[in-house]
């Protein structure tokens, strides 16, 4: 490996600091889905990467021809640098800039086995693939340019380090004050616990006084619930009575035993054969549609309520859902009647009352 001058080593240091900043900032930003500046400094440099690259290069120069030794020496050098840097920054600034505590086989959270293994493979990548073209490019830079550029970058880097260290020390002071405030909060919490112990008796007496009010309130709520249950039962009884009365009226309606044919204008309904015709043409009806048409035909010209239609066709108690059921079947009946004769609306809606079939009732006829 080429032996570099001090200026070239400085340029290599800044170059790898920049590469490390770009890599780690982009990686963390993608993980957190927002831009994260991972640099300790204000500028786009991560000294840990620059220092790691330089130390790795120094460590593997004697063994660069052996991949195993490059991996081993690079891993050891980078891991040592990572631990010393992490421990020193935490001790000085009271802040951890990286933490491997959640990783297996870690040492005080500053280094871990997976990170060290990665450093070994990074050493191979650096020595065999990344650094050779960078070294060749650096060798082409004139010596008159290398030293001034290194000096200028060092001056900027030193100024950035001073500002960043000052900001970190200020942040350390903030953390120290927060720690002191937390101590004060803990003392206040202990005082609050003592006060709570004295207040426990007062709370117990208050609960005893409110227990009577609680029982009175429960009694009042139970009475109101009982009233609601009784009112609901009465409404159910009234509905039952209306339903039974409707069934009695239906049962009392005159219908001779041999009366099977009902004629209402052009509509004829045969109760025996369960056939219905319009203008002599048979209607294809479901059993419920046939029952509704038969009830309407018996009262042709007079409106029949939805409740009577439902209870007569379904023989069940009428409710709000039943009204929609009747309306759907009436709509289907109208379509089937219109398919034969669309010139006349045979089933009309009597608003507020129910439905009626046009035409005079023909009355029942013998079979």
| Distance separating alpha carbons of residues 46 and 19, to the nearest angstrom | 8
What's the pTM? 0.43
As separate numbers, helices (DSSP H) first and strands (DSSP E) second, the chain gives 9, 9
∠ CA 12-15-17 to the nearest 5 degrees? 110
Reported as a single tens digit per residue, the pLDDT across 143-156 is: 899 999 999 999 99
- Phi, psi dihedral angles at 358 (to 5 degrees): -70, 150
Domain boundaries, the chain: 6-184, 257-366
Average pLDDT over residues 290-294: 92
Task: Report which secondary-structure segment, H or E, holds 170.
Answer: helix 143-252
Q: Which residues contact 100 (CB under 8 A, 6 or more apart)?
A: 106, 109, 110, 111, 112, 115
- The reported pLDDT for the residue numbered 252 is 60
User: What confidence tier does 286 reach under pLDDT thresholds 50, 70, 90?
Assistant: very high
How far apart CA 69 and CA 232 sit, in angstroms, is 90
Q: What is the pLDDT of residues 195-221, one digit of tens each?
A: 666 667 777 777 777 777 778 888 888
pLDDT of res. 208:
75
- Which of 104, 81, 85 lies closest to 95, judged by CA? 85
Residue pair 276/285 in contact by the 8 Å Cβ criterion = yes
* 315-331 pLDDT per residue, tens: 888 888 888 999 999 99
Quote helix, strand, coil % in the chain, to nearest 5: 70, 10, 20
SS3 33: coil
In angstroms, rounded to a whole number, what is the distance separating the alpha carbons of residues 21 and 124? 20
Q: What is the pLDDT of residues 20-69, one digit of tens each?
A: 899 888 988 898 889 888 777 888 898 888 888 898 988 887 888 888 99
The CATH number of the domain covering residues in 257-366: 1.10.10.10
CA dihedral (318, 321, 327, 333) in degrees, to 10, reads: -80
CB-CB neighbours of 5 under 10 Å: 13
pLDDT digits (tens, 9 = 90+) for 83-127: 998 888 888 877 777 789 888 889 988 899 998 999 899 899 988
For 125-182, write each residue's pLDDT tens digit.
988 888 889 988 988 999 899 999 999 999 999 998 888 877 766 655 555 666 666 7
Higher pLDDT among residues 301 and 66, named by residue: 66
Tens of pLDDT, residue by residue over 231-256, are 888 887 877 777 667 656 655 655 44
Per-chain mean pLDDT for the chain: 83
Q: What is the per-residue pLDDT for 72? A: 94
């Amino acid at each position: 490996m080429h032996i570099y001058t001090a200026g070239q080593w400085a340029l290599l240091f800044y170059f790898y600091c920049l590469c490390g900043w770009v890599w780690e900032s982009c990686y963390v930003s993608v993980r957190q889905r927002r831009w994260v500046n991972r640099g300790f400094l204000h500028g786009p440099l991560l000294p840990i990467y620059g220092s790691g690259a330089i130390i790795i290069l120094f460590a593997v120069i004697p063994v660069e021809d052996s991949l195993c030794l490059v991996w081993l020496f690079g891993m050891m050098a980078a891991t040592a640098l990572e631990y010393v840097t992490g421990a020193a920054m935490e001790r000085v600034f009271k802040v951890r800039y990286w933490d491997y505590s959640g990783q297996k086989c870690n040492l005080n959270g500053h280094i871990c086995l997976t990170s060290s293994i990665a450093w070994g493979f990074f050493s191979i990548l650096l020595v065999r693939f990344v650094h050779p073209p960078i070294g060749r490019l650096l060798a082409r830079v004139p010596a008159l340019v290398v030293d001034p550029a290194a000096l200028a970058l060092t001056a900027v880097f030193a100024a950035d380090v001073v500002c960043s260290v000052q900001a970190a020390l200020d942040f350390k002071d903030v953390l120290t004050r927060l720690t002191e405030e937390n101590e004060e909060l803990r003392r206040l919490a202990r005082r609050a616990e003592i006060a709570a112990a004295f207040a426990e008796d007062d709370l117990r007496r208050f609960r005893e006084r409110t227990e009577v009010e609680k029982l009175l309130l429960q009694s009042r709520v139970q009475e109101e619930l009982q009233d609601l249950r009784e009112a609901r039962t009465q409404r159910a009884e009234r509905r039952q009575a209306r339903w039974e009365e409707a069934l009695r009226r239906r049962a009392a309606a005159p219908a001779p035993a041999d009366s099977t044919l009902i004629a209402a204008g052009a509509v004829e309904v045969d109760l025996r054969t369960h056939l219905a015709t319009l203008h002599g043409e048979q209607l294809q009806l479901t059993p419920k549609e046939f029952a509704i048409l038969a009830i309407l035909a018996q009262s042709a010209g007079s409106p029949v309520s939805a409740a009577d239609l439902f209870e007569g066709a379904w023989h069940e108690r009428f409710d709000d859902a039943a009204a929609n059921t009747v309306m759907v079947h009436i709509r289907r009946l109208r379509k089937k009647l219109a398919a034969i004769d669309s010139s006349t609306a045979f089933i009309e809606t009597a608003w507020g009352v129910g439905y009626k079939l046009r035409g005079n009732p023909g009355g029942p006829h013998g079979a």
